[in-house]
Structure 1
Amino acid sequence: MSGRQLKYRFTPLAFHYLLSITVLLLSSCARPGVPKDTSTSGSISIAADYEYQPVTQAEIEVFQALYHNASLKPVFATEDSAFQLLMADSVRLVIASRKLLPSEENYFHTLKLYPEQMKVATDALALIVNKENTDTLLTLNRLKAIFGGQDSIWRHQTDVSGSHPKKSSPDISPERMSIVFDYANSGSSRYILQNLAGAKKLPDYCYALHGNTEVIEYVSKNKNAMGVIGINWISNVYDTSVIRHMNDITVIAVAKKDAPSPGDYFKPGIENILYGNYPLCRDMYIVSREAYTGLGSGFFSFVTSNRGQRIIYRDGLAPVTAISHTISY
């Protein structure tokens, strides 16, 4: 060829061809459908029952400190709301005091999803009263009468038998109870309904407030109040706010026997949970809808690991795996 330069005409057809190639290449690079997170990196939302907020936050803080590229965004909600978020694919996993209901499992199966569910701890419900209340030893049968609507009167007396005193007794100061829960449709209200109330609804002297902290504050200011809270809110002895709360309330001791001796009453401490002495215990679960090994799976594995179980123990819950009593990180 001579020194002539070749000239190309940029036709509309060539433009559309190049545009198509560009879109194809970009689509290939983006790889839609490929997870954006791994077991130790990425960003996801998870849900937890309000009752497990302290331990959930503790687990997240340590996990994110270990894996700097991981971001877990917690949504704290009532138990029912947490599972609704899971079913709507708004969160990757749930921490709650129950597994999926059969209807919820069936829903996931229609989506070809088979959620993983695992018990990660045992906790308990704590019954708290005002410091001035002296009726602090209750039998399981009396609790059933209280939540079943048959007994709503405090009995401030020295008798620890749990039996109904005579009305003529001079040391009785009958006062009607006011029982408060953290939220309506919470895990604690469901537990009481299923295990103690023996009815479809709680009696009219039971009320729902707006959180465990509000329950504690209400009880500390009202002599006739009894609060039902997750033990996690008062079990971490390293938390200064817990120490402050404990100065304002008394935790009720509960006996399984109908005619107990003083040694048959137990409070919901970790040893009494581990050995089954305290009757109002329940399991804590993680339920994950994740269909691959992503950040949800990584956090799931962390909570069930030795380090994650140590955090549970430190927060006053009973871990599912044996750990040393020496807490270190």
Structure 2
Amino acid sequence: MPKYLRFLFYSFGFIMTIFFIDSCADKKKKEDQTATFYVDETVMPMMDDQLAVFQSERTEKINLVPKTEGAILDLLKNDTTKLVVMSRVLSKSEEKRFTDKGIVPRITQIAIDGVALIANNKAKDSVIDLQNVIDFMNGKPVASIKGLVFDNANSSTIDFLSRKASVTKVDSKNIFALKSNNDVIKYISENEGYIGVIGVNWMTQPMPDMLNSTTNVKVLAVKNVKSEPNSSAYYKPSQTNLAEGLYPLTRKIYMLNYEGSVGLGMGFATFVAGDVGQRIVLKSGLAPVRLALREVKVRKDIENK
């Protein structure tokens, strides 16, 4: 074989080898562009919508896994995950394992949510006094409440109400937990006198197979305890009442990132906190943290045509 042909042959082989290595590197890079968030299941419907829009515009892969708050805290504690969506930030003691490693958390508030109290449609009252709920959680009898029904024993809803009631351990035969928000809705739709405790998102965005059950329950307006603001009226968890903090059981939703570096997890959080993501929050029935304002020009005179 002539030298120049041999040179071309080896040059071509070298170029193809480099091309193959680069292709493998690109493929591995795309495979590495994956992030998994563990999501408080009380806001999963809204986060599912966020994911659908994000994935329609991006090639990176995001996984959302619904979990109870207790399960998410265990995953963080065991270093199984560093990306979560929760209804609160970590306490200093919970965060210590990360700060000890020099990891600075990236915390992004993405929505204003609420814990909804629901009752059977046949119930006489459409309102409830939060003080009665607190008394019931402390073991005091309340004539209008047969029982409180939570979505899960490790849920953020039971943790949230326990904090409100200053209860460290809920121990009552009339306070019990099922397996999911849908289970609570179904139970309340079939049983009078009980109060269901769920995430607002599951009433504003019910699953298709739950429509019959949701039509048989109603969301109660809640009156705050006397020692707290806005205790003179009853408020439902509407977007306006959530945004203005009037609803007594309002809470914030956060995306927590303990990766210690800027990556796909932060990119998804930026999307959810951005204009498109906040419009998705608005559509979900929750209150966005930021609203795009429309500029309105007022003219003194109206032109006559």
* Residue 61 of structure 1 pairs with residue 52 of structure 2: yes
Q: Distance in 1 between matches of 2:214 and 2:127?
A: 17
Alignment of 1:139-218 (within 5 A): 139-154=129-144, 177-196=146-165, 198-204=166-172, 205-218=174-187
Counting aligned pairs with the same residue, the percent is 32
TM-score (norm 2): 0.80
> 1:57-90 CA deviation, whole Å, 9 max, x = no partner?
11111111110x2111111111121132234343
Residue 86 of structure 2 corresponds to residue 125 of structure 1: no
Q: Take 2:169 and 2:99, find their aligned partners in 1: how far apart are those partners? A: 31
What are the superposed Cα offsets for residues 21-47 of structure 1, whole Å, 9 maximum, x if unpaired?
xxxxx9xx97xxxx9469xx8212110
Following superposition, the deviation at residue 241 of structure 1 comes to: 5.5
Alignment-mate amino acid for residue 104 of structure 1: E
Distance 2:122 2:171 in 1: 24
Once the two structures are superposed, residues 195-217 of structure 1 have per-residue CA deviations (whole angstroms, 9 ceiling, x without a partner) of 12x32222411101000000000
Q: Rate the CA distance shift 1:244–1:206 in 2: closer, same or farther, 3 A.
A: same
Q: Is 1:113 the counterpart of 2:81 in the alignment?
A: no
| Larger proportion of helix | 2
Larger Rg: 1
Using the TM superposition, name which of 123-132 and 110-119 deviates more.
110-119
Q: What is the 5 A alignment of 1:208-247?
A: 208-236=177-205, 240=208, 243-247=211-215
- Separation (CA, whole Å) in 2 of partners of 1:270 and 1:245: 23
SS in 1 for 2:162: helix
Q: Which moved more, 1:208-217 or 1:289-298?
A: 289-298
C-alpha distance in 2, partners of 1:86/1:200? 22
Candidates 66, 75, 79, aligned match of 1:85: 75
Q: Look up the match of 2:253.
A: 284
What amino acid is aligned across from residue 51 of structure 2 in structure 1? I
**CA offset digits 1:109-147 (Å, max 9, x no partner):** 222322211222111010001111113322222222122
SS, match of residue 153 in structure 1: coil
The 10-residue stretch of structure 1 (212-221 or 136-145) with the greater mean CA deviation from structure 2: 136-145
Aligned match of 1:137: 127
**Equivalent position to 1:96, from 86, 92, 98:** 86
Instruction: Normalising by structure 1, report the TM-score.
Output: 0.74
What runs of 5+ residues in structure 1 fail to find an aligned partner? 1-25, 155-175
